[in-house]
């Protein structure tokens, strides 16, 4: 993404590749700005990967042929002085944006992202978060775009070593260098492509970020560089055809693909091979019309600025959208245009002076030292963000100073008439500290009880009264898992041996969710496995909850659109199957849903003397939850019961952010574990009554 263009046969500027860089950065910027008619603009990153693989491999192979060796120190020194100075400056800027404009609850996470970006491993950090449902409410990282740079640098930690091994093979067996390199590269590229197709086909969100699914894209560029000596004498008509087909492929990908297209997988072959065709058409000649067009001065200028522009545009966009609320494509375009200014300044004042400094270039060790120092600045910036945003937890002294009942217990026996459920401007104390509320999970999160989006295995977690005579299975998505600690108390109170099964975002229902415009296969498989397990060994009672009020029935898989009708039918069908097997069913109501992107960790600290600003309408919160669907399904299915605790979560027309000095919500969808535990004895009584009505324990 960052190397100067050089033709495969020498050191001259490949103007068409500089223009191709301009095309790539233009696609990325358009996509990030929100320009709707280019929904696949993210393919610009794939174009960059191919360019980088071609250029770097060309440099390394020419060095190997010229001197019979490859200097790792000199190679990494060149990249360090070229990439790291401006990258570290942008990381410091991202740290400033994070601490001054972004939510404090996200800042601690983003500080870690900045450290990962400085060390070029942030793609793995983001991959882990992409499959962590508990991180679903984390905003967009200001260094999200560093993932592609991390992939490149990880590739170039390995690729020079492969070339060195190839040189040893050439010396030992007398083989030719380029064919030997091609074989070695194919051993990396082909498995990477296969894994990319497999992992993407599994609907694994991490496939977008991980290096193993992206190596093949750089590998295609590298293979092209190895074959470049055979491309110099291509007839003009072949060049014209290659360039035209390549441009059409990249254009098609940008216009026809979208954010819902499974990526990278086999779809990425379109822009990758298209880019390779454009580069091949220009090897040794600019006779192709498209090659000459890409080589026009404006495109060459933008291409030379592309690295700095890529670095600067994203944190500026995050500052404008998430920090200042300037959303929409119009503002996006304004920010993108404005980002040219720091990009140009960074290119002229930082990139080029360091890159062409005679002192820095005089010795590779100096360049490496400069690079290491720049990376250190990035690490320090990230750690500073984490430190500054860390919030002190409420200690025991604060807790003991609270007067009156705690949490839901403060509402008494008639929650809708209790003054403690009415929102107010000030609270004597708030447990947990608002800044910590976003991470106030049940213990099941740390125990690994919930299966991630890509898993389908049944992972049991035992709790409650482990010697209890009544065997209870609780299962569902995160709306069920949030009650795990409460069920520890409920089970002990009612004498229930409780086993929890949970899969993130996957309700236990015959109607499943849709991911990447197709039925979510692992959700289907997890549901089937749990149903079979319960039919084979029926529990005394089954309790479920969920957050989704839409779904997709199997008979509608050919037209994967979730509907409320399918969700209702899916619950009735699944619960009827259990009742027919002699298993009573209790549906535990979904909690009222706060507005989208609501966060107590952000709202309450921002309104220390006006906490009512963090309240929201009850009617809307209930209507957007799954509770109405659960209630209707239960009423239509004999042998089931519906246990409603919404009156203890939002008892008034406006839902209070704090009840009994306990912060109620950790995000827009879930309640805090502290509040769930405070509700456990009330819930234990209601569940026991419902179970008795179904004949459990009699």
183-186: list long-range contacts, CB under 8 Å, 24+ apart.
Answer: 185/219, 185/222, 185/223, 185/226, 186/219, 186/223
DSSP string of 643-679, one letter each residue: E--GGGTS-SSEE-SEETTEE-BSSSS-B-HHHHHHT
DSSP string of 5-47, one letter each residue: P--TTSSS--HHHHHHHHHHHHHHHHHHHT-TT-TTTTHHHHH
253 close to 271: Cβ distance less than 8 angstroms: yes
pLDDT of residue 33: 93
- What pairs with residue 543 in β-bridges? 474, 586
By the 10 Å C-beta count (0-12 exposed, 13-18 middle, 19+ buried), 168 is classed as exposed
What separation in angstroms does the CA of 203 have from each of 31, 184, 196, 264, 338?
A: 22, 30, 11, 11, 36
- Strands (DSSP E) contained in 13-172 are none
Please confirm whether the linkage preceding 45 is cis (ω < 30° from 0). no
**In angstroms, rounded to a whole number, what is the distance separating the alpha carbons of residues 190 and 588?**
49
* Boundaries of every domain in the chain: 15-388, 441-590+625-644
- What pairs with residue 518 in β-bridges? 515
CATH fold for domain 441-590+625-644: Rossmann fold (3.40.50)
- Strands (DSSP E) contained in 382-431 are none
pLDDT of residue 356: 85
Phi-psi region of 195 (alpha: psi -120 to 50; beta: other; left: phi over 0): alpha
pLDDT in tens, 176-234: 888 998 998 999 999 999 999 999 988 888 899 999 999 999 999 999 999 988 888 88
pLDDT in tens, 475-524: 999 999 999 999 999 999 999 999 999 998 899 999 999 887 889 999 99
Mean pLDDT of 643-672: 93
The token duo for 137 is 């409410």
Collect all residues with Cβ–Cβ distance below 8 Å to 176 and sequence separation of at least 6: 170
**In angstroms, rounded to a whole number, what is the distance separating the alpha carbons of residues 576 and 583?**
9
**In angstroms, rounded to a whole number, what is the distance separating the alpha carbons of residues 95 and 92?**
5
pLDDT in tens, 291-337: 999 999 999 999 999 999 999 999 999 999 988 989 899 999 999 99
Instruction: Give alpha helix (H) positions in 120-145.
Output: 122-130
**In angstroms, rounded to a whole number, what is the distance separating the alpha carbons of residues 271 and 45?**
10
Q: What is the pTM of this model?
A: 0.78
640 close to 655: Cβ distance less than 8 angstroms: no
pLDDT of residue 573: 96
Judged against a pLDDT cut of 70, whether residue 12 lies above it is answered with no
pLDDT of residue 313: 96
**Could you tell me which of 694, 259, 340 has the C-alpha nearest to residue 517?**
259
SS3 call for 230: helix
Instruction: For 520, list phi and psi in degrees, rounded to 5.
Output: -75, 100
pLDDT of residue 288: 86
By the 10 Å C-beta count (0-12 exposed, 13-18 middle, 19+ buried), 220 is classed as buried
Mean pLDDT of 628-656: 95
The token duo for 460 is 């049991």
pLDDT of residue 593: 92
pLDDT of residue 105: 72
- What pairs with residue 503 in β-bridges? 451
**Could you tell me which of 52, 20, 27 has the C-alpha nearest to residue 292?**
20
pLDDT of residue 266: 95
Q: How many helices (H) and strands (E) does the chain have?
A: 28, 13
SS3 call for 394: coil
């Amino acid at each position: 993404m960052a190397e100067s263009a050089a033709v495969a046969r020498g050191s001259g500027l490949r103007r068409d590749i500089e223009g191709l860089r301009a095309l790539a950065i233009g696609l990325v910027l358009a996509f990030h700005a929100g320009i709707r008619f280019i929904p696949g603009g993210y393919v610009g990153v794939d174009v960059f990967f191919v360019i980088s693989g071609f250029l770097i491999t060309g440099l390394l192979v020419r060095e190997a042929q010229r001197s019979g060796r490859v200097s790792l120190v000199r190679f990494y020194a060149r990249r360090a002085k070229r990439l790291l100075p401006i990258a570290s400056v942008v990381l410091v800027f991202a740290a400033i944006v994070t601490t001054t404009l972004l939510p404090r609850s996200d800042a601690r996470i983003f500080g870690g992202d900045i450290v990962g970006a400085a060390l070029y491993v942030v793609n793995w950090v983001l991959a882990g978060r992409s499959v962590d449902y508990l991180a679903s409410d984390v905003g967009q990282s200001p260094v999200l775009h560093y993932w592609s740079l991390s992939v490149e640098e990880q590739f170039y930690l390995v690729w020079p070593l492969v070339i060195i091994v190839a040189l040893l093979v050439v010396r030992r067996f007398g083989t030719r260098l380029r064919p030997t390199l091609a074989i070695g590269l194919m051993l990396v590229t082909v498995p990477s492509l296969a894994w990319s197709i497999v992992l993407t086909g599994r609907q694994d969100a991490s496939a977008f970020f991980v290096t193993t699914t992206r190596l093949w894209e750089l590998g295609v560029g590298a293979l092209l560089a190895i074959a470049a000596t055979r491309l110099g004498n291509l007839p003009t008509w072949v060049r014209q055809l290659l360039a035209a087909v390549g441009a059409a492929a990249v254009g098609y990908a940008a216009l026809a693909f979208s954010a819902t297209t499974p990526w990278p997988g086999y779809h990425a072959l379109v822009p990758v091979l298209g880019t390779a065709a454009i580069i091949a058409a220009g090897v040794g000649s600019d006779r192709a019309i498209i090659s000459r067009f890409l080589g026009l001065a404006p495109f060459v200028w933008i291409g030379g600025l592309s690295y700095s522009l890529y670095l600067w545009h994203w944190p500026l966009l995050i500052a404008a959208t998430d920090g200042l609320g300037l959303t929409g494509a119009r503002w996006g375009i304004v920010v993108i245009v404005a980002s040219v200014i720091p990009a140009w300044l960074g290119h002229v004042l930082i990139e080029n002076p360091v890159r062409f400094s005679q002192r820095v270039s005089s010795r590779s060790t100096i360049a490496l030292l400069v690079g290491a120092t720049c990376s250190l600045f990035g690490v320090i910036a990230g750690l500073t963000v984490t430190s500054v945003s860390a919030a002190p937890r409420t200690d025991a002294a604060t807790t003991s100073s609270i007067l009156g009942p705690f949490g839901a217990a403060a509402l008494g026996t008639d929650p809708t008439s209790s003054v403690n459920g009415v929102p107010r401007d000030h609270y004597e104390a708030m447990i947990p500290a608002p800044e910590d509320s976003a991470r106030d999970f049940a213990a099941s999160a740390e125990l690994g009880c919930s299966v991630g989006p890509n898993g389908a295995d049944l992972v049991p977690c035992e709790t409650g009264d482990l010697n209890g005579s009544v065997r209870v299975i609780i299962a569902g998505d995160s709306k069920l898992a949030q009650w795990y600690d409460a069920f520890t108390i409920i089970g002990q109170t009612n004498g229930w041996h409780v086993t929890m099964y949970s899969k993130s975002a996957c309700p236990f229902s015959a109607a499943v969710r849709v991911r990447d415009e197709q039925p979510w296969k692992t959700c289907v498989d997890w549901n089937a496995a749990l149903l079979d397990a319960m039919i084979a060994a029926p529990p005394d009672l089954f309790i479920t909850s969920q957050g989704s009020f839409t779904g997709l029935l199997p008979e509608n898989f050919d037209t994967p659109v979730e509907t409320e009708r399918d969700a209702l039918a899916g619950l009735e069908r699944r619960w009827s199957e259990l009742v027919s097997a002699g298993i009573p069913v209790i549906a535990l109501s979904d909690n009222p849903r706060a507005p989208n992107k609501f966060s107590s960790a952000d709202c309450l600290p921002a309104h220390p003397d006006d906490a009512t600003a963090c309240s929201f309408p009850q009617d809307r919160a209930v209507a957007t939850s799954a509770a109405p669907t659960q209630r209707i399904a239960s009423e239509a299915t004999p042998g089931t019961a519906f246990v409603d605790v919404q009156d203890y979560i939002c008892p008034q027309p406006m839902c209070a952010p704090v009840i009994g000095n306990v912060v109620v919500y950790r995000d827009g969808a879930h309640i805090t574990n502290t509040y769930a535990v405070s509700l456990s004895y009330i819930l234990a009584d209601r569940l026991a009554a419902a179970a008795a009505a179904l004949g459990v324990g009699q």
